[in-house]
Amino acid sequence: MNLFKLSLIGVLLSLCCAASYAQTDGGDRDSIQTVAGTLSIVRVEHVKTDGVTFNASLNGAQFDQLYGSRYTYYTDSTGTDKPATRIVVEDFIGGFSDTPSVSLYDFRKKPPVVLPISNKLDVDDIRWSDSAVLLSANGSWYSFAGKKLARSKPPKKSAQ
């Protein structure tokens, strides 16, 4: 009986960890390889008067600013050796109790762009397609494509 419980716990843990590559809690300094170069997200030494707590730069040039005490990001790359073409960033501006500001960094565009998605979603899961980003929040699915966010059907199960 104990062996069965341990086996079951092991299987559940391996299933949970299998998808953990998709989400990363940002630290004080992150470097992410993208198809457009290196994206660096660095905590500022002193919070600026406008509230900036993190600067995001692409190949050393200013790209975006984050205002929260922490951030989380999801990349579309399937492995550590493959550069990301898109990244979804959650900026926790109001702390842990408020929903984060969510943006899409699209490195497929020339020049790369930051597209605001929503400030009302707390993302649980993300699925990528060539034309859209599917986001799960509070049991509902949304599609972000062409600078527009719309309710969506849940994605079909896929072998990952």
Residues paired with 56 in a beta bridge? 41, 64
Q: Is residue 137 part of a domain?
A: no
Pick the residue with more confidence: 11 or 71? 71
Q: Read off the pLDDT of each residue in 77-89 and give the average, rounded to a whole number.
A: 90
Number of domains in the chain: 1
Question: Is residue 153 in a domain?
Answer: no
Pairwise CA distance, residues 95 & 104, whole Å:
20
14 within domain boundaries? no
Question: Residue 74 falls within a domain, yes or no?
Answer: yes
* Longest CA pairwise span in the chain (Å): 60
Q: Evaluate whether residue 91 is within a structural domain.
A: yes
Sign of the alpha-carbon dihedral angle for 81, 84, 88, 90: positive
Q: Is residue 29 part of a domain?
A: yes
Burial (CB < 10 A; 0-12, 13-18, 19+), residue 107, is: buried
The per-residue pLDDT for 129 is 94
The pairing of strands 148-152 and 140-145 is antiparallel
Residue 160 has pLDDT above 60, yes or no: no
Domain that holds residue 105: 22-121
Long-range own/partner contacts, residues 25-28 (CB < 8 A, 24 or more apart): 25/70, 25/71, 25/72, 26/54, 26/70, 26/71, 26/72, 26/73
Q: Is it true that the peptide bond before 111 is cis, omega within 30 degrees of 0?
A: yes
Residue with more model confidence, 6 or 57: 57
The answer to whether residue 133 sits within a structural domain is no
- Tell me: the pLDDT tens digits for 84-133? 999 999 999 876 678 899 999 999 999 999 999 999 899 999 999 999 99
Q: Report yes or no: 139 and 122 within 8 Å, Cβ to Cβ.
A: no
**pLDDT band at residue 158 under the 50/70/90 scheme:** low
